[in-house]
């Protein structure tokens, strides 16, 4: 969907944080203040194709000037292999380049009160670092676990260490094996809130553990930092829009949202990871193949709603209330 309030931004700094991660600093060309944001927020960068990609805002400082009408935004971007276009575009940016972005949106807000545990997997440190800064400024108790495959993939490490100090636990898979999310969650016996940001398997493990342990709603919060990949056996199917009767083919390697956008359909969306619910539409006919993190088990069983950014169809034809 086209945004009428897009920001015109200029790249003011590019830094290499790890071999695969760069931080990119953006500002208005005239130096005017930018819209305010809170920990967990992201902006959508508009690619040359017109598609948008979401990137979390990074703030290692609890100072109000960093988030209240700031003079710049800072992003952390991992170069994906293969890239779906967004990370390659971002890694190609140079100082002086101009881009368009949407104002900050927050689908992963930090709640007030209580003890907090932060878990970051890889590039998932970007919103988690901002949360640690906000909690420090609030003097709210927290601890932070930062996991990555190897030490050279721990982006923003100096800033994380300076901010979190003895509240920080580092984990690298090449030294200690895959991080055990289930074990962490079993150790949290004081009703702490857990915020997790990382790759899909880490989020899936956290959701499964929360169900097994009987965690109450509102104790686990998460944001996934990888789009749902095509699965073996995925097949093409037809999508029909009830409002127009128009029919579109969704290939095996594309989402419903991508197919509609390529066809010029003005569909609402944001995260493109099945988390925010912005792209949700009703299902009139057909059987959805749910791959989102929004719908409850009962809603998925009912088959009347679908998140078109990640979910597919089990039936050859899907009629949407769109």
CATH code, domain carrying 33: 2.40.30.10
Task: Indicate the number of domains in the chain.
Answer: 3
What is the average per-residue pLDDT within 59-75? Answer: 91
Residues 216 and 247 in one domain: no
Kindly state the helix (H) or strand (E) to which residue 298 belongs, with its residue range: helix 297-302
Lowest-confidence region among 35-49, 61-75, 215-229: 215-229
Q: Could you tell me how far CA 310 lies from the centroid of its own chain?
A: 13
- SS3 call for 204: helix
Residues 265 and 189 in one domain: no
Residue 290 in this model has a pLDDT that exceeds 80: yes
Q: Residues 245-259: pLDDT tens digits?
A: 999 999 998 999 999
**What pLDDT is recorded for position 238?**
96
Does 18 fall in a domain?
yes
Q: What is the mean pLDDT of the chain?
A: 93
Query: What is the number of other CB atoms lying within 10 angstroms of the CB of residue 294?
Result: 19
Q: Residues 137-149: pLDDT tens digits?
A: 999 999 999 999 9
Q: Residues 91-138: pLDDT tens digits?
A: 999 999 999 999 999 999 999 888 999 999 999 999 999 999 999 999
DSSP state of 309: T
Residues 69 and 150 in one domain: no
| Secondary structure of 22-58 as H, E, C letters | EEEEEECCCCCCCCCCCCCCEEEEECCCCCEEEEEEC
Does 231 fall in a domain?
no
Categorize the per-residue pLDDT at 65 as very low, low, confident or very high, splitting at 50, 70 and 90: confident
Residue 57 in this model has a pLDDT that exceeds 80: yes
Categorize the per-residue pLDDT at 297 as very low, low, confident or very high, splitting at 50, 70 and 90: confident
Rounded Cα–Cα distance for residues 178 and 160 (Å): 21
CB 321 within 8 A of CB 283: yes
Q: Which two tokens stand for residue 145?
A: 């676990």
**What pLDDT is recorded for position 274?**
87
Categorize the per-residue pLDDT at 276 as very low, low, confident or very high, splitting at 50, 70 and 90: confident
Structural domain of 245: 237-321
Q: Residues 195-244: pLDDT tens digits?
A: 999 998 999 999 999 999 999 989 999 998 766 666 788 999 999 999 99
Categorize the per-residue pLDDT at 1 as very low, low, confident or very high, splitting at 50, 70 and 90: very low
**What pLDDT is recorded for position 275?**
84
Categorize the per-residue pLDDT at 2 as very low, low, confident or very high, splitting at 50, 70 and 90: very low
Residues 217 and 242 in one domain: no
Residues 82 and 16 in one domain: yes
What is the average per-residue pLDDT within 145-168? Answer: 96
């Amino acid at each position: 969907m086209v945004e009428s309030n897009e920001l015109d931004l200029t790249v003011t700094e590019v830094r290499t944080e790890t071999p695969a991660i760069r931080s990119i600093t953006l500002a208005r060309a005239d130096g005017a203040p930018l819209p305010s944001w809170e920990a967990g927020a992201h902006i959508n960068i508009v690619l040359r194709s017109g598609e948008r990609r979401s990137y979390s805002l990074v703030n290692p400082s609890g100072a109000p000037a960093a988030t209240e009408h700031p003079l710049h935004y800072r992003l952390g971007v991992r170069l994906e292999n293969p890239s779906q276009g967004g990370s390659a575009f971002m890694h190609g940016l140079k100082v002086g380049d101009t881009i368009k972005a949407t104002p900050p949106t927050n689908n992963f807000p930090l709640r007030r009160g209580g003890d907090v545990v932060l878990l970051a997997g890889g590039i998932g440190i970007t919103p988690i670092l901002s949360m640690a800064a906000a909690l420090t400024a609030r003097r709210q108790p927290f601890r932070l676990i930062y996991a990555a495959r190897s030490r050279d993939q721990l982006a923003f490490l100096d800033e994380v260490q300076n901010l979190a100090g003895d509240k920080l636990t580092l984990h690298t898979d090449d030294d200690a094996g895959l991080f055990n999310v289930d074990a962490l969650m079993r150790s949290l016996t004081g009703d702490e809130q857990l915020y997790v940001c990382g790759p899909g398997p880490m989020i899936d493990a956290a959701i499964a553990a929360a169900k097994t342990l009987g965690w109450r709603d509102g104790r686990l919060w998460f944001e996934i930092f990888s789009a749902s990949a095509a699965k073996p056996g995925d097949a093409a199917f037809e999508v029909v829009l009830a409002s127009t009767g128009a029919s579109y083919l969704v290939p095996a390697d594309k989402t419903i949202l991508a197919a509609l956008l390529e066809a010029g359909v003005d569909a609402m969306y944001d995260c493109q990871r099945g988390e925010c619910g912005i792209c949700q539409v009703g299902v009139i006919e057909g059987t959805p193949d749910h791959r989102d993190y929004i719908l409850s088990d009962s809603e998925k069983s009912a088959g009347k709603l679908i998140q078109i950014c990640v979910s597919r169809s089990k039936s050859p034809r899907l009629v949407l209330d769109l």
